Structure 1
Amino acid sequence: MTPDAPAPLVARRRRTVQVFAAVAALAVLAVGLTAYGMRAYAHVNGFIVPHAEWAWAPVALILAAQTTLYCLERPYRASADAQKALDALHVAVLMPVYNEDDGYLRSALRSLLAQDRRPDSVHIADDGSDVDYDRTRTWWCDAAREAGITTTWQRVPHAGKRHAQVRAAAQCPGADIFLTIDSDAHLAPDAVREVLQPLEDPRVQVVAGVVVAHNNRNGLLSRMTDLWYVTSQLVDRSALSPLGGVMVASGSLAAYRAELLRDNVSSYLGETFLGRPVTFSDDSLLTLYGLMRGKVVQQPTAVVFSAMPETVSHHLRQYLRWMRGSTIRALWRMRYLPPVHPAYLAQLLRWFQQVTSTALLVSLSVHHFRTGTHPPAGLYFVPLVIVSAQTLRYLTLARSDQSLRSQLATWALAPLALLWSWTVLRAVRFYGLLTCMRTGWGTRVDGAEVTLAPAAAPAPAA
């Protein structure tokens, strides 16, 4: 690290996590009680939703089970002997780069230099970017050499992220572990060491880190996205992690046993859907390979700061790509995983929740337009209680770039985030389902869409 480099971003778990989890559990119980009283309340107010309690009851049970499971999640800790074995592994970072903002790219590379367990090698593949990275490449190669990190930086014809990853992996045939890191991802100083801990267990094939927004205070949208994204990891993924069934390990930080990629290169590069090549959803496909071979877990103490969309257009295009990829991947889970697999069951439950909530929303809207009566307040109160309780998980992660007061301000956006999710994002979700055969990337086509302010970007080396 040069003297002009900014301080690394740091994150740690707050010990009050169990308190917040208990509050969430109480909220789920409240949902269950409300569900059975809902129909009588609806009759009294002249707003009848037939058999609504039978829809809410299983949802309440699912939420209760989910709450119990994420309360069971604990950071993995390798034994002393296992730690020696982990330290002896060759850990190679694979970093595809395509039209990335130079400030974010430098920030990501500096964070690798600041690791308390540095990777053994870093392999960067520039996927035919329109950005000139010559100065950054020169600086990085010199800095990596001084730090004792083997590195390669190759510029390859634009063929997509998967091809860039495979090109990078080919530079380190002796690697034991591949770390996939996005080019805008700033790792907390202990992220590499932490993400390796679960690999003590030979059954673990993939480890997911926790992704938070680097630019979380750059507007209302980035705050809401950070709240939604962090909560989804600390609720959904944290619930599946004790079962070894995490369905997606985000590319911003994930650890894979190297043979997982090497053994599946052909299918990874050649995936098609309805005769069309699939260029997105690479993270979830690698995760699926892991689920087919063993366990996929989350290490809640491995934190990475990543750039989130700051404009509505970028946000919706990214979400649409995710939903198209999610549709394809859900079908693949049904096809390739056994019915007793935790990820298979989780996928079925996810579909059930989506169908149930959508059916309720539609029935309420139809009834309102037909009769002119308004739903009872309880129907609005229930989902708000659920979301407010679950998003308390956002507060369990203390960050060096955000005070508790700022985090509380973000958490207070839960009602707005719920409204956005139930309306705009729900529509995008179903549009993505119907258009999942459109397998193009959709973002960063004309250059970087999110930039790091010059004052915050690492200064070039002298």
Structure 2
Amino acid sequence: MGSRGALGGLPFAVVVGWAVWHLLELTLWRGNADPGLGFVWLVSFLLLWWLPICWLERPATVTESERPGIDGLRVTVQIPVYNEDPQALRACLESVFAQARPVQRVRVVDDGSVDGATGEPLLYDAERAFLLRHAKRHGIEATWDRTPNRGKRWAQMHVLCEDDADVFVTLDSDSVLDEQAVAEGLKPFADPRVQSVAGLVVPLNSKTNLLTRLTTVLYIPFTRGLRSAQSVLGSVLINSGTLAFYRADVVREHAGVYERETFRGVPMQMNDDSMLTMYARLAGRTVHQPSAVCFTLVPDRARHYFRQQLRWMRGTTVRHLWWLRHMPVRSLAFWMPVVEYAHLILALLVPVGVLVTPHLRAQSGSLAWYTLILGCAMNYLVSLRLFAIRRTDETLGHQVLMFALSPVAGLWRLMVLRPLYLYAMATCWQIGSWGTRSRVEVHVAPAR
């Protein structure tokens, strides 16, 4: 890991040095240059503060003296289910029973799933029987409850508020754990200051089509970039609900409040992960464990993808407003939305400035060329993190192909997701319980 950190820091220093030199030459050292544009470019680089820091992340380890305390933790895995593909749910349950470090309980809550075609209750009799049968075989306590549809937070707290575990693990029903995920995810709790641990989320169906390949690349800046950098500072702000570990007292303490959050009088059921993470951050350190890996199904159709993105973006907007209102100015949580909005403002102001300023308009070709080169360089630099995970279902050639998609992902982020984010910000009050699952959305491909 140490050599990887150096490998990441060196190209970052080279690219930044090269960029600063040429952009200063372009915007300051020429006679008709605009110093303001040079300042904008430099600020843009500063907003990428997380890029070198993320390479400093190291997985937490446990000493022999700390091992008994970690082994003695009672762990409950909570799996909320709503309109899930039965095969995906079965794979999820199988991965829990296959853990190298067994858990003590598995609690599944079906939040009133329905058949999208008939409107009849969608029952998982075979999956429920599988859970109870295998739990008994492994000596694990298991429960399966079906509740009226009230949203993911209610499904989670239906069983967690009275559970006496030491650590709660939240796991999405369309996700599969690596066999070492729980063992690795518990290691950071050897530090008594740590209150929550984010797992590393990797798309499971990355090879389905171009959209899932693109999504895999788009995941990297957050899951292996920004979140890793925040972890180095002990201040992860948003765990992924796909896989996260919490000290149980943090969750129990907020039972009754967590599931009743509202925004403009509307129940706030999305962004459950950011709310639980913030509870943990207020109590201590929140970190990321890159060796606790979880594979999740991502949307493979455009309609589902855009609905999911809108849901996430609206939830993020609400959480940003919450941070700005409630978090102290000295906290990272306060400054993260400031940085995000600075990115958006610069993305809007720079093209306008080029259009309305005659001498910049005359240099628009050079500016576009430098922007293209820098954009590609930065996207490739971020995507080096793609090679940090070795997968038995992917060849090196496939990883190289994914790496080659990096500039396409950057263009997609700029041309599609940024405008969508602006729309989501303007409509952030349109929040629902699950958002994307009026029916089963992603199916597991049959085994060959």
Counterparts of 1:230 and 1:358, CA distance in 2: 24
**1:365 Cα deviation (Å)?**
6.3
Residue among 238, 246, 264 paired with 1:248: 238
TM-superposed deviation, 1:42: 8.5
Structure 2 residue 39 is matched with structure 1 residue 54: yes
Give the alignment partner of residue 148 of structure 1, picking from 139, 144, 147. 139
1:1-40 maps to which residues of 2 (within 5 A)? 16=4, 18-39=6-27
The equivalent residue for 2:130 is 139
- The answer as to 2:398 corresponding to 1:406 is yes
Matched, 1:90 2:74: yes
Shift of 1:31: 2.7
* CA–CA separation in structure 2 for the residues paired with 1:58 and 1:280: 32
What whole-Å deviation, never above 9, does each CA across 1:68-106 have from its counterpart, x for those lacking one?
321221110122222211111110001100000111111
CA 1:394–1:289 in structure 2 vs 1: closer, same or farther (change >3 Å)? Answer: same
Query: After alignment, is 329-338 or 98-107 more displaced?
Result: 329-338
* Structure 2 Cα separation of the partners of residues 32 and 413 of structure 1: 25
**Separation in 1 of the partners of 2:410 and 2:57?**
25
Confirm whether residue 121 of structure 1 aligns to residue 105 of structure 2.
yes
* CA–CA separation in structure 2 for the residues paired with 1:273 and 1:452: 35
Counterpart for residue 158 of structure 1: 149
Q: Give how far 1:149 is off.
A: 1.2
Q: 177, 181, 184: which is aligned to 1:194?
A: 184
Q: C-alpha distance in 1, partners of 2:31/2:418?
A: 29
Amino acid at match of 1:51: G
What is the CA-CA distance between 1:231 and the residue it aligns to? 3.1
Once residues 361 and 300 of structure 1 are traced to their aligned partners in structure 2, the CA distance between those partners, rounded to angstroms, is: 38
| Stretch of structure 1 that moved more, 336-345 or 218-227 | 336-345
1:219-298 equivalences in 2 (<5 Å): 219-298=209-288
SS in 1 for 2:349: helix
Q: Deviations over 1:103-136 (max 9, x none)?
A: 1111111111111001110000000012321011
Instruction: State whether residues 23 and 38 of structure 2, in contact with CA within 8 Å, keep that contact through their aligned partners in structure 1.
Output: yes
- Aligned partners of 1:94 and 1:257: how far apart in 2? 13
Which one-letter code corresponds to 1:55 in the other structure? Answer: V
**What does 1:386-401 align with in structure 2 at a 5 Å threshold?**
386-401=378-393
Greater mean alpha carbon deviation, residues 439-448 or residues 424-433: 439-448
Separation in 2, partners of 1:280, 1:41? 49
- Distance, in Å, in 2 between the alignment partners of 1:102 and 1:49 is 60
Do 2:152 and 2:434's aligned partners in 1 also have CA atoms closer than 8 Å?
no
Q: Secondary structure at the match of 1:51?
A: helix
Change (3 A) 1:365 1:389: farther
2-structure distance, mates of 1:103, 1:36: 56
Deviates more, 1:443-452 or 1:238-247: 443-452
Q: Distance in 2 between matches of 1:14 and 1:452?
A: 37
User: In structure 2, how many angstroms separate the alpha carbons of the residues matched to 1:14 and 1:303?
Assistant: 20
State the Cα distance separating 1:268 from its structure 2 match.
0.7
- Structure scoring higher RCO (CA < 8 A, sep ≥ 6) equals 1
Alpha-carbon separation, structure 1, partners of 2:319 and 2:178: 30
Quote the sequence identity (%): 35
Query: Residue deviations 1:408-444, cap 9 Å, x none?
Result: 1011111111111101101110011010111114644
Task: Give the SS at the match of 1:453.
Answer: coil
Distance 1:150 1:21, change over 3 A: farther
CA distance in 2, matches of 1:125, 1:367: 59
Aligned mates of 2:11, 2:303 — CA distance in 1: 35
Per the TM alignment, residue 354 of structure 1 is displaced from its structure 2 partner at its CA by 2.8
The one-letter amino acid paired with 1:287 is T
- 1:337-387 Cα deviation digits (max 9, x unpaired): 22212332333223222322332244456779x969843211222222111
Which residue of the other structure, out of 306, 311, 318, is the alignment partner of 1:316?
306
Query: For residue 419 of structure 1, what is the aligned residue in structure 2?
Result: 411
Counterpart contact for 1:25–1:67, Cα < 8 Å? no
| Residues 169 and 243 in structure 2, CA contact (< 8 A), matched pair in contact too | yes
* Amino acid corresponding to residue 336 of structure 1 in structure 2: H
* Contact 1:160/1:279, CA 8 A, preserved across alignment: yes
Matched residues in 2 for 1:79 and 1:404: separation?
Answer: 34
Instruction: Summarize the Cα distance change of 1:14–1:215 in structure 2 as closer, same or farther, 3 Å threshold.
Output: farther
- Give the Cα–Cα distance (whole angstroms) in 2 for the partners of residues 374 and 43 of structure 1: 16
1:140-193, Cα deviation, whole Å (9 max, x unpaired): 2101110111100000110000000001314x5211110000001101110001
Q: What is the rounded CA distance, in whole Å, between the counterparts of 1:371 and 1:417 in structure 2?
A: 27
User: Hey, what does 2:118 align to over in structure 1?
Assistant: none
Structure-2 residue corresponding to 1:70: 54
Please, what TM-score do these two structures have when normalized by structure 1?
A: 0.89
Separation (CA, whole Å) in 2 of partners of 1:14 and 1:145 = 43
Alpha-carbon distance change, 149 to 345 in structure 1, aligned in 2, over 3 angstroms: same
Determine the structure 1 residue equivalent to 2:420.
428
**Structure 1 residues 266, 366: closer, same or farther in 2, change over 3 A?**
farther
RMSD over aligned CA atoms reads 2.3
Deviation at 1:14, TM superposition (A): 11
Contact preservation (8 Å) 2:198, 2:289: yes
Seen in structure 2, the aligned counterparts of structure 1 residues 316 and 21 have a Cα distance that, compared at 3 Å, is farther
Shift in CA distance, 193/442, structure 1 to aligned 2, threshold 3 Å: closer
Distance of 2:139 and 2:280 partners within structure 1: 31
Q: Say if 1:99 and 1:444, in contact at 8 Å, map to a contact too.
A: no
Ranges in structure 1 where 5+ consecutive residues have no aligned partner:
1-12, 457-462
**2:195/2:285 contact within 8 Å kept:** yes
Question: 1: CA distance between counterparts of 2:357 and 2:385?
Answer: 35
Which residue number in structure 1 is paired with residue 325 of structure 2? Answer: 335
Contact 2:11 2:381 in 1 (8 A): yes
Distance 1:35 1:83, change over 3 A: farther
Taking the aligned partners of 1:145 and 1:373, their CA distance within structure 2 comes to 71
- Separation in 1, partners of 2:335, 2:437: 36
Which one-letter code corresponds to 1:92 in the other structure? T
The equivalent of 2:340 in structure 1 is 350
